[in-house]
Amino acid sequence: MTATPSETGPAGRVVVLAGGLSHERDVSLRSGRRLAEAMRSHGIEVEQRDVDAGLLPALAAQPPACVIPVLHGESGEDGAIREVLELLDLPYVGSRPAACRVAFDKPVAKSVVARAGVATPDSVALPHEIFRELGATAVMEALVRRLGLPLMVKPARGGSALGASVVHDAAALPGAMVSAFAYGPVALVERFVTGVEVAVGVLDDGEEPWALPAVGIEPDGGFYDYTARYTAGSTRFSVPAKLDDDVARACAEAAVTAHTALGLRDLSRTDLIIDDAGTVWFLEVNSAPGMTETSTVPLAAQAAGLDLGEVCGRLVRRAIARCAPADPPA
């Protein structure tokens, strides 16, 4: 039986924003379609819109009950679109702009989460210009001396592992730097930790944020790159991840700590790796996690016995309640 809007969501229209012009446009469109379909199955009126010059006039002409930004990459996760939604006084699901900006900048997010007590691999963030000014060879030799091998190289801002690569040999470092700089002006060079990779979604739909079951990630090629993330059958997922109970608890605690320390709300996803000693290492966090058929948050929600459309309905109601005017004093 199809649920009525009063059971799972607002009586008004919900606008899902998907697409945009970032490198992750296709992923965003797939995420948006899936969320829209999940909410419609619960009787929620949903309109999916791209981000273009017609968006703001449309929102002003017919203000929706709530907006769900499902935009990935630059301008989608850096808080910019949420700043505009706040200018329009529109309720929206997700973290506020300032928190998004911090979470989207991987080196800054690592520093914040490390101060909160979660281990994160040693790393260095360097802009493209420093290699030209000081000499690329000398800088890369210093990187290898300081961090050792292997290394993870990735853009400091961005997602879906675009421009990211694992460097096992110093001779491969220049190519990895070029790949990272193709997606942004600053590269994060991080000590690569070998171990079990997991993703932990955090749902903030009640009094306190809580962790969804950890999802174990085993890409066929050994590296969870763009193809492994979004091509069906390229990665084996285990939900919940095959972890000892104490390690699973540590992963959940790390994800909730990251979510809280960064000031995120509603929903996030934290990427972690567990080394052979059982240490949980924080890699990065996503304030607008993917919702495609191969994304980990929907897999975790299903494992927790949650319906994606129902979860979205709850988050929409919370977003609307946040913007409701306070009752006047008696």
Describe the crossing of helices 106-115 and 97-104 by its angle, rounded to 10 degrees: 100
pLDDT at 2: 38
Q: Annotated catalytic, 183?
A: no
Instruction: Find the catalytic residue in 28, 95, 286, 295.
Output: 286
> What residue has token string 């919702």?
291
Task: Show Cβ contacts of residue 92 under 8 Å, excluding neighbours closer than 6 positions.
Answer: 66, 67, 68, 69, 82, 85, 319
CB contact at 8 A, 263 and 269: no
Q: What is the pLDDT of residues 182-214, one digit of tens each?
A: 989 999 999 999 999 999 999 998 889 999 999
Domain borders along the chain are: 5-94, 102-106+194-310, 123-191
Domain range 5-94, its CATH number among 3.30.470.20, 3.30.70.890, 3.40.50.20, 3.40.1790.10: 3.40.50.20
Q: Which position among 92, 183, 224, 230 bears the catalytic label?
A: 230
Active-site position among 31, 95, 160, 268: 160
* 276 among known catalytic residues: no
- Whether 290 is catalytic is yes
User: Looking at 265, 269, 314, 317, which residue is catalytic?
Assistant: 269
**Residue-wise over 23-50: b if at least 16 C-beta within 10 A, else e?**
bbbebbbbbbbbbbebbeebbbbbebbb
Query: Per the residue annotation, which of 77, 197, 284, 310 is the catalytic one?
Result: 284
- In the chain, % of residues over pLDDT 70: 91
Catalytic residue, from 20, 290, 309, 313: name it: 290
Catalytic residue among 74, 78, 197, 271: 271
Q: Is 269 a catalytic residue?
A: yes
Fold of 102-106+194-310: D-amino Acid Aminotransferase; Chain A, domain 1 (3.30.470)
28 is catalytic: no
Could you count the other beta carbons within 10 Å of the beta carbon of residue 237?
Answer: 18
**pTM score over 0.75:** yes
81 vs 305: CA distance, rounded Å: 32
pLDDT in tens, 81-117: 999 999 999 999 999 999 999 999 999 999 999 999 9
Query: Catalytic annotation on 82?
Result: no
**Proportion of the chain in helix, strand, coil states, percent, rounded to 5:** 40, 20, 40
Please say if 77 is a catalytic residue: no
Per-residue pLDDT at 5? 41
Is 284 an annotated catalytic residue?
yes
With bands split at pLDDT 50, 70 and 90, how would you rate the model's confidence at 76? confident
- Which of the pair, 251 or 234, is modelled with greater confidence? 251
The CATH class of the 123-191 domain is: alpha beta
pLDDT band at 1 (very low <50, low <70, confident <90, very high): very low
330: number of Cβ within 10 Å: 3
